[in-house]
Structure 1
Amino acid sequence: MSTQQVSSKEKIKELWAKRPIIVSGPCSAETEEQVIETAQQLAATGKVDMLRAGIWKPRTKPGMFEGIGAKGLPWLQKAKQITGLPTAIEVATAKQVQDALTFDVDVLWIGARTTVNPFSVQEVADALRGVDVPVLVKNPINPDLELWSGGVERIARAGIKNLGLIHRGFSSYGNTQYRNAPMWHLAIEMKLKYPELPIFNDPSHICGKRDTLMEVAQKAIDLDYDGLMIESHIDPDNAWSDAKQQVTPARLKEMMEEIIWRKEDVDNSEYHKALEKLRQQINHLDDEMLQILSQRMKIADQIGQYKKDNNITILQPGRWQEIIDKVAMRGEKLGLSRDFLNKYLDAVHLESINHQKKVLDA
């Protein structure tokens, strides 16, 4: 291993322990000049830890720009030599892994279109055996945590020690606000399932447009994400791919200065005492809610018995719609969002149906 490779690995080791980690660069590497100029401008901001660029671009339809290919790897290598920024790219095949490592790419990530296919993830995992390189796994396109977890586990079994997650949002029917709906609850569930893994937020692919990047980035930091991956281009409006979601390096610097950076904890005894007191109140309220829900289900059992005795169906759509309308109206007045109330009521209703079904089947 060369001295330069040793130095690069030491830098990545230090970077992996840093929080937050900021990754930025163009959606696609287009020309050598564009890659190097973008890298230099990003390095000059003093806000970026790692340079990203799309080398191979899996596109939805044929005929779209699918990346410059392996000839762009020397451009990234040169940009790293000039700026000192470590590099990161997406890989989807064993050949792409090999090519990336040949040109000393420091961090690899598996894209959403690859994570959704276990065969593809396994091919990448097999190519990574015996390799010491950090790997990030993006969430799959569809909202399926098992696929995301499966991708992480396949890469882990290949012996990769430095693993991480990228939350880039999920495709969802009827979604209009975002390019990919964030579905924060799924990312939070993955974060809780793998607390030892750093998780990055990718506002660029969630938003699909630059004017909402700040809002999503700030929420990710508020939720204690470990880093951000934001696309940056020296001339975003004329980018060869995803022009609307990229920002200039100058704008990226402004964003990093505008974000309120939260801390996970603080060495303040008064803060901890106050927080513990409030958490105890939540614990007591949670106990009370469990007792009330238990009582509610006992009443559902009784209703189930009456329905059984009179050969009545379990599901009563009219009655349930009446409950939804009444609770939603009262709940919103109490400061509870309709989205939360719908999810809560759906869960309660399903549990009630299960209780009544057991009574009918007894």
Structure 2
Amino acid sequence: MKFKPVFENVTRPIQVLGPCSAETEQQVMETARQLAENDVKVDLFRAGIWKPRTRPNSFEGIGAEGLEWLKKVRDEFGYKITTEVANKDHAFEAVKAKVDVVWIGARTTVNPFAVQEIADALKGTDIPVLVKNPINPDLKLWMGGIERLLNVGLDRVGVIHRGFSKFGKSVFRNSPQWQIPLALKQEFPGIQILCDASHIAGNRENLYSVSQAALNLNFDGVMLETHPTPDDAWSDAAQQVTPADLKKNVLDKLIVRKETGDDPVFQHNLEDLRSQIDLIDKELFQLFADRMNLAEKIGEYKKQNNITIYQQGRWSEILEGMMEKAGPMGLSSRFVDKVLKAIHEESISRQEQIMQSENENAVK
């Protein structure tokens, strides 16, 4: 599936910058002015004018009036403009205002009916669309949003990774779960992907580290929120910074890495290391297969002796024992926990099949 780029003739990293919300005409214009004064590269100026909020009585956007302010930014500073559309009426208004790019937010992507309505409203236009990931970590739902746009003939489609909601405390406002956007890139090779570091971080302190992590993973660029007086922002104040701070503490520090190198020595050494990894992977999967064969034999033995499959004591013993060994090996407890749980789940599944076969034979 081929995509036309949303951003053409733009050097990496692509930078989509602006306030979380358009609050007043003065605030929008001042943001743009400070970006220009600080010589910040702005590939797309962003501002939300319709703001779906978690709870009522929060600022839910200035509405269509804000489109005029964005158009004024484009006229005075030459920046292309973008805003979020959450329903078909927003889409019609954005097209009428000749907004350069629209994006579909996480709260909308989660609803296929809403995405389809927007897709139908945009059908027949050539407006580029960026699709944020849904709030929940559902790869297929994200893919579905993209496919709905493609199905109506829109081909300038890109995506924005803004992280996923997660219950409980975390250093992130929204958990990045980088494996999901990387899986999306595998499904849609060539699609441009931005990282909304502001919504992942949820604070000013982590904007740079999240942005750099995205570029390290070969993302095309970043979406970042900036405000002339962040502490006074009407929405998401904690994650916004002034244009000057954004340039100094985030954008100027970003390192753009190459996808590959031209140095023959580098290529030779890299291929050598990769060959070693391939051999180890082959050995690992053979060991996994051997382990599952043993698990099946244990399942047969349990069936013959009428013993339950799951045994808490044994599982705790394995988990605790391997956790103790993980540290000296340089392996994180998080990694070991995930691997062991996946192995245990597969072992249980194999033994369940063995037990089930006995039940099926009894029925016959």
Name the TM-score class by shorter chain.
over 0.9
Partner of 2:321: 326
Partner of 1:4: none
Q: Report the AA paired with residue 40 of structure 1.
A: R
| Cα separation, partners in 2 of 1:12 and 1:220, compared to 1, 3 Å | closer
- Displacement of 1:358 after TM fit? 2.1
Partner of 2:243: 249
Deviations 1:309-352 (A, max 9, x none): 00111111110111011112212221111111111111101111
Indicate if the aligned counterparts of 2:203 and 2:238 stay in contact, CA closer than 8 A: yes
Give identity over the alignment, percent.
52
Deviations 1:11-44 (A, max 9, x none): 97534x5422100000011111211121122234
Indicate if the aligned counterparts of 1:12 and 1:86 stay in contact, CA closer than 8 A: no
Once the two structures are superposed, the pairs formed by residues 195-206 of structure 1 within 5 Å of their partners are: 195-206=189-200
Give the alignment partner of residue 25 of structure 1, picking from 18, 29, 37: 18
Partner of 1:132: 126
Partner of 2:286: 291
1:280 is the counterpart of 2:275: yes
Moved more, 143-152 or 275-284: 143-152
Deviations 1:134-170 (A, max 9, x none): 1111011111112111111111112111111111111
Indicate if the aligned counterparts of 1:12 and 1:106 stay in contact, CA closer than 8 A: no
Partner of 1:156: 150
Partner of 2:54: 60
Give the alignment partner of residue 330 of structure 2, picking from 331, 335, 343: 335
Once the two structures are superposed, the pairs formed by residues 143-292 of structure 1 within 5 Å of their partners are: 143-254=137-248, 255-292=250-287
Give the alignment partner of residue 301 of structure 2, picking from 306, 312, 336: 306
Partner of 2:107: 113
Task: Specify the SS of the correspondent of 1:308.
Answer: helix
Moved more, 329-338 or 273-282: 329-338
Indicate if the aligned counterparts of 1:175 and 1:181 stay in contact, CA closer than 8 A: no
Q: Report the AA paired with residue 298 of structure 1.
A: N
Partner of 2:362: none
CA distance in 1, matches of 2:111, 2:6: 28
Partner of 1:50: 44
Q: Report the AA paired with residue 217 of structure 1.
A: S
Deviations 1:88-138 (A, max 9, x none): 110011111111111121111100000111111111011011110111110
CA distance in 2, matches of 1:343, 1:13: 38
Once the two structures are superposed, the pairs formed by residues 85-96 of structure 1 within 5 Å of their partners are: 85-96=79-90
Moved more, 75-84 or 350-359: 350-359
Q: Report the AA paired with residue 68 of structure 2.
A: P
Q: TM-score, normalised by structure 1?
A: 0.94
The number of residues matched between the two structures is 351
Indicate if the aligned counterparts of 1:97 and 1:128 stay in contact, CA closer than 8 A: yes
Partner of 2:360: none
| Cα separation, partners in 2 of 1:244 and 1:320, compared to 1, 3 Å | same
Task: Specify the SS of the correspondent of 1:210.
Answer: coil
Q: Report the AA paired with residue 299 of structure 1.
A: L
Indicate if the aligned counterparts of 1:19 and 1:227 stay in contact, CA closer than 8 A: yes
Higher relative contact order (CA 8 A, sep 6+): 2
CA distance in 2, matches of 1:175, 1:107: 34
Q: TM-score, normalised by structure 2?
A: 0.93
Task: Specify the SS of the correspondent of 1:211.
Answer: coil
List gaps (5 residues or longer) in structure 2. 358-364
CA distance in 2, matches of 1:335, 1:296: 23
CA distance in 1, matches of 2:45, 2:169: 30
1:39 is the counterpart of 2:38: no
List gaps (5 residues or longer) in structure 1. 1-10
Q: Report the AA paired with residue 65 of structure 1.
A: F
Task: Specify the SS of the correspondent of 1:82.
Answer: helix
| Cα separation, partners in 2 of 1:13 and 1:343, compared to 1, 3 Å | closer
Q: Report the AA paired with residue 267 of structure 1.
A: D
Runs of 4+ in 1 over 6 A off after TM superposition: none
Once the two structures are superposed, the pairs formed by residues 63-82 of structure 1 within 5 Å of their partners are: 63-82=57-76
CA distance in 1, matches of 2:228, 2:260: 37
Indicate if the aligned counterparts of 2:20 and 2:235 stay in contact, CA closer than 8 A: yes
Indicate if the aligned counterparts of 2:149 and 2:155 stay in contact, CA closer than 8 A: no
Deviations 1:231-259 (A, max 9, x none): 00111111111111001110111111112
